[in-house]
Structure 1
Amino acid sequence: MTQLGQSGGDALVELFGRTKVVIGVVHLAPLPGSPRFDGEAVEAVYQRGLDDARSYLDGGCDGVIVENHGDIPFAKPDDIGPETAAYMAVVSDRIRRELGKPVGINVLANAAIPALAIASAAGAGFIRVNQWANAYVANEGFVEGESGRAARYRAKLRANGIRVFADAHVKHGAHAIVAD
């Protein structure tokens, strides 16, 4: 897997030391600012995320990806508040520091810019973006890939070492160009 804009180098080998990996997905509880956040102490949210990550790694996963899965219904990228990035950065940094394995970030839905900010702040090695280059229609509405903006933002952060793992065709939407 070669990073866009760079030659050579396999992202999986560079991050995990092998070409085939298993990545556990830490589904965070609802975060402050999301509709389902019930006022739970954020320390409990952080601890649950850390415990879930530890379980994945103890079970043989090579690393984890942290995502705001509890923030249903998901917002479009420009509607995600800075509080999401702040809380996700804290828990992701705690997971990386305590467990010492590769950590990635996925901000739902398709929010590459906040994911890069979180990854940069937390020392994460990669982000996941559902749709990198194309546009699709999903339950959040019309969502466009953010590759141009995200690549520029990553360069602005001087975070070109953060890898981007992206879907070719997101499974949670329809693509007008290919009529799927």
Structure 2
Amino acid sequence: MKFLQLFGKVKPAIIGMVHARALPGTPGGRLPISSIVEEACLEAEIYKDAGIDGLIVENMHDVPYSLCIGPEVTAAMTAICAAVRQTCSRLPLGIQILSCANQQAMAVALASGLDFIRTEGFVFSHVADEGIVNACAGDLLRYRRQIGAEHVQIFADIKKKHSAHALTADVSVSETAKAAEFFLADGIVLTGAATGIQANTEELKEARDAVRIPVLIGSGVTLENLEDYVDANALIVGSYFKEGGHWSGRVDPERVNMFMDKTKQLRA
């Protein structure tokens, strides 16, 4: 599988989050691009030194998120991702652009030499705190082919956090996972109800039994519950790696090293 070509046979692969500081044009944007790039690269270095398996760059600090991001966000994320790629030339790297800017993320991935994107709203519509999000798989995969980025993998959130799924209450996690697989996602991502909230372990089992593509956990993994998720193909970890265990803090090298040490013990 493409996933194995990217991450090898380590299981679960650990993917750290680089939460770029608020970008120009967003309500919290105060820093010049050069400072944002420098901090992102410093955090990437911490992860790399700890033996992380991959990274995702995300504009998490751009709150409140918009369903119509401006070109300045795409341009800034390209500069940040290109610099992180230079810092971590051999690590699998991905990107997510909030909110639901999946085509823009694909374009940035191609321009910056990244390996994958994390998408929102891949299959089925839902109501997010930004508004109504409609499925994008058909348009996104056509766009990927159009720009020659078919090597960029797509890891798709299903029943994602910070969202109401009343519209699809009659569609189970396994059915949603199967739909994402049928619509050619390279992997699916399970989350808890919000950032930092752990995913349901029963849903992990349900999804793994339903599909043959990789299943990733996208929120709430900590040193204390790590063992609950060893059956996942990868764990995307953000909040736990930050100072105080909150997503808004800076990356804490001690937390990353402890987590990776325990991961290696579990793998052994």
C-alpha distance in 1 between matches for 2:2 and 2:48: 20
Residues matched between the structures, number: 168
Partner of 1:47: 38
Partner of 2:85: 96
Give 1:67 deviation, angstroms. 0.4
SS at match of 2:105: helix
What is the aligned-residue RMSD (CA, Å)? Answer: 1.4
Of all paired residues, the percent bearing the same amino acid is 36
The structure having more radius of gyration, on CA atoms, is 2
The question of 1:27 aligning with 2:19 is answered yes
Stretches of structure 1 lacking an aligned partner (at least 5 in a row): 1-9
Q: Could you list the per-position Cα deviations for residues 141-178 of structure 1 after superposition, in whole angstroms to 9, with x for gaps in the alignment? A: 11112111111110111111100001121122112121
The question of 1:116 aligning with 2:116 is answered no
C-alpha distance in 2 between matches for 1:54 and 1:12: 23
Partner of 1:163: 153
- Structure 1 residue identity aligned to 2:19: H
Give 1:133 deviation, angstroms. 0.9
C-alpha distance in 1 between matches for 2:107 and 2:101: 10
C-alpha distance in 1 between matches for 2:170 and 2:39: 40
Contact 2:117–2:153, Cα closer than 8 Å, also in 1 = yes
Contact 2:45–2:87, Cα closer than 8 Å, also in 1 = no
SS at match of 1:22: strand
Partner of 1:6: none
Q: Which moved more, 1:10-19 or 1:110-119?
A: 10-19
C-alpha distance in 2 between matches for 1:15 and 1:82: 30
C-alpha distance in 1 between matches for 2:10 and 2:147: 28
Q: Could you list the per-position Cα deviations for residues 5-40 of structure 1 after superposition, in whole angstroms to 9, with x for gaps in the alignment? A: xxxxx23211122252100010000011211112x2
C-alpha distance in 2 between matches for 1:22 and 1:53: 14
The question of 1:83 aligning with 2:75 is answered no
Contact 1:30–1:69, Cα closer than 8 Å, also in 2 = yes
Q: TM-score, normalised by structure 2?
A: 0.60
Stretches of structure 2 lacking an aligned partner (at least 5 in a row): 172-268
Q: Could you list the per-position Cα deviations for residues 41-99 of structure 1 after superposition, in whole angstroms to 9, with x for gaps in the alignment? A: 211100011111111222221110000011100111xx111111111111111111222
Give 1:131 deviation, angstroms. 2.4
C-alpha distance in 2 between matches for 1:109 and 1:58: 30
SS at match of 2:143: helix
Partner of 1:74: 65
- Structure 1 residue identity aligned to 2:58: E
Partner of 2:128: 138
Give 1:179 deviation, angstroms. 6.2
- Structure 1 segments of 4+ aligned residues over 4 angstroms from their partners: none
Q: Compared with structure 1, are the counterparts of its residues 14 and 99 closer, same or farther at alpha carbon in structure 2 (3 Å cutoff)?
A: same
